[in-house]
Amino acid sequence: MAQILGFILLSFFAISILLVPFINVLYKIKLLRQVQKTRDPMAIRTPIFDRLHAHKVGTPVGGGALVIFVVTVLYMIVVSIFPHLGIEQTAVYPIKKEVEILLFTFISFGALGLYDDVRKTFGIKKVSFWGLRFRHKFLVQWVLALAIAAFLYFSLGIHILNVRFVDVFDLGIFYIPFAAFVIVSFTNAVNISDGLDGLASGLLLICLVAFLMISASILDTTLSIFLGLWIGALIGFLYFNIWPARVWLGDVGALSFGATLAVCGLLLGKPLALAIIGGMFVTEVASSLIQLLSKKIRHKKVMEVAPLHLWLQYKGWQEPKIVFRFWLAQIIFVAFGLWLSFF
């Protein structure tokens, strides 16, 4: 655990040194939040969102790209030299394959998000949704998620679903669509939650600490190293992301981090704990899904606006108040999820 704490500090200092110059680069290339003319996945304009977030126009997006770069580089260096430090490296699965699936998820979903960030920032007017059309982005997410799920099943041999207090289920080949669904769900949950300063990154940080505790308890140092580096980088990023934010994750960070969070939960064999530990992410995506289904089926809204954090903002809650209370709720979810995991 002492080494993991060192890796947290290492990535924290690395991101702290690089982030201010990186923000300046984002300003220089004008990768900034644009004038709000957003549409929901049903191509319906969202004037409430535009009004509430008008003051965020001009804030740099794409900060997640630096987090991905720093964590990836440090992880590759640490994993390669770790055996030479005289410290035993253990993993539940073959080390090389575990490293490969973590980095593939981290980078591939980040690349998808970066493409969308660049496209919606510099604009292609024929695209009706803000950035990629929702159905196109959703399709690519499923292709990547199915590829990752197939790797988990065929290369790592994961096919068991352990539901605490119920039973252990052998899903067989059906583990692939199940795992893909989990990955796509959390990818969009984190992306939807990245709507207020510090919200998504703070919630994610709390989840990662919980997963670090679980991975350390089963002596999976390969995953623990990755989580430690990711936590340190997020702490440094969050300093510049809390209200008023100087930089945003962007889709490059939100898509990458959501998918990788899901993969970490699947590697730990804790899909149910993942849903509980990531409880606020689940709440956010559920509120958006209910709103979309209601508009599609009933042709009326359940709330004036979704997701939940935006509805609270519409009702008059101040942005920092929403963020801090979501963090507190997430801590309670994490405590419950860890209790179930260690019970």
Q: Are 114 and 107 in contact (CB under 8 A)?
A: no
Percent of the chain with pLDDT over 90: 64
Model pLDDT for residues 11-39, shown as the tens digit of each residue: 999 999 999 999 999 999 988 876 555 55
Q: Which of 46-60, 114-128, 138-152, 235-249 has the lowest mean pLDDT?
A: 114-128
The residues pairing with 163 across neighbouring beta strands, listed in sequence order, are 167
Question: What global pTM score does this model have?
Answer: 0.91
Which pLDDT score is estimated for 300?
84
- Residue 307 gets the label, from left (phi > 0), alpha (psi -120 to 50) or beta, of beta
Model pLDDT for residues 39-96, shown as the tens digit of each residue: 554 445 567 767 777 777 888 999 999 999 999 999 999 988 877 766 667 778 888 9
- Residue 36 gets the label, from left (phi > 0), alpha (psi -120 to 50) or beta, of beta
* Residue that the structure tokens 């419950």 belong to: 336
- Is the pLDDT higher at 198 or at 168? 198
Residue 149 and residue 171: Cα distance in Å, rounded? 13
Q: Are 66 and 22 in contact (CB under 8 A)?
A: yes
Which pLDDT score is estimated for 125?
45
Which pLDDT score is estimated for 132?
55
Task: Indicate if the pLDDT at residue 127 is higher than 50.
Answer: no
Reported confidence tier of residue 129, pLDDT bands at 50, 70, 90: very low
Q: Which of 209-213, 236-240, 258-262, 296-300 has the lowest mean pLDDT?
A: 296-300
Mean pLDDT of the chain: 88
Q: Considering Cα of 251, then 323, then 286, then 39, what sign does the dihedral take?
A: negative
Reported confidence tier of residue 343, pLDDT bands at 50, 70, 90: low
Q: Are 75 and 105 in contact (CB under 8 A)?
A: no
Rounded to 10 deg, the angle between the 199-217 and 319-342 helix axes is 20
Which pLDDT score is estimated for 305?
87
Measure Cα distances from 106 to 72, 176, 280 in Å.
Answer: 8, 19, 21
Q: Span 162-189, mean pLDDT?
A: 90
* Residue that the structure tokens 């209370």 belong to: 325
> What tokens were used for 239?
């300093």
Which pLDDT score is estimated for 46?
65
Residue 250 and residue 239: Cα distance in Å, rounded? 16
Model pLDDT for residues 205-216, shown as the tens digit of each residue: 999 999 999 999
Residue 236: is it exposed, middle or buried by C-beta count within 10 angstroms (0-12/13-18/19+)? buried
